[in-house]
Structure 1
Amino acid sequence: MSSPADREPTPLEKNRALAEWLEYQLRQVRNRVRELEVQEEREQRRRDAAHAALRWKIQPQRSNALALLHRGNCTLYPTNAGYISREDAMIALAEPDIQPCDICRPDTGLTG
């Protein structure tokens, strides 16, 4: 005589087990997608920071101060738009109404 453990699962039992397995697999895939999204976002921020470090930006003149030239990654003038090239930064430094930021020292390596 056979025990209940020896019997063949019914089609319903098989499909329930398959559904549980597929739900488990889907959770695993969704977790991996979230991990990859976080990783991709971090990598994009790293690329953006590296790009900014190779650029410069000009902080507009205020009523009582000269315009300032900053490195692209200077946090004293936090903007992610309006980067200028090395050549444009060199031209800006030659202007009498633009001075380099004393903190990020954008003039280092541009002159001399």
Structure 2
Amino acid sequence: MFRCSASREAQERECQERARAEMSWKIQPQRSSPTALLHRGGCATYTDQVGLISRENAMVALAQPDVESCEVCRPQTGLQG
């Protein structure tokens, strides 16, 4: 019985983390390319979850000349409106 509740708690935590990531953005630092990439928090092309940023910070980042949008997750769609 303890395993079941512990498993449910772990699943709930994972779901909460996933939901938070989907409502956040992240920046992939520029390393081998001249620009950094902005991703939606849940984008699988850049899996680092450290340093998720808010909508407001994502809008500021995207306005920078050395930051581009990920072509896979298209983070700019979540920034409109």
- Report if TM-score (shorter chain) is over 0.5: yes
The one-character-per-residue Cα deviations of 1:49-79 (angstroms, maximum 9, x if unpaired) are 0000000000000233410000011111111
**Structure that is richer in strand per residue:** 2
Shift of 1:109: 3.3
The one-character-per-residue Cα deviations of 1:22-60 (angstroms, maximum 9, x if unpaired) are xxxxxxxxxx10011111101110000000000000000
Which consecutive unaligned segments of at least 5 residues does structure 2 have? none
- Say yes or no: does 1:58 pair with 2:31: no
Shift of 1:103: 0.4
Measure, in 1, the Cα distance between the counterparts of 2:49 and 2:33.
25
Calculate percent identity across the aligned residue pairs: 51
Give TM-score scaled by structure 1 length: 0.68
Which consecutive unaligned segments of at least 5 residues does structure 1 have? 1-31
Aligned to 1:40: 9
Measure, in 1, the Cα distance between the counterparts of 2:52 and 2:45.
15
The one-character-per-residue Cα deviations of 1:62-107 (angstroms, maximum 9, x if unpaired) are 2334100000111111112101110000001100100000001100
After the TM superposition, which segments of 4 or more aligned residues of structure 1 sit over 2 Å from their partners?
A: none
Q: What is the aligned-residue RMSD (CA, Å)?
A: 1.2
- Say yes or no: does 1:78 pair with 2:55: no
Q: Secondary structure at the match of 1:107?
A: helix
Give TM-score scaled by structure 2 length: 0.93
Matches within 5 A, 1:1-112: 32-111=1-80
**Structure that is richer in helix per residue:** 1
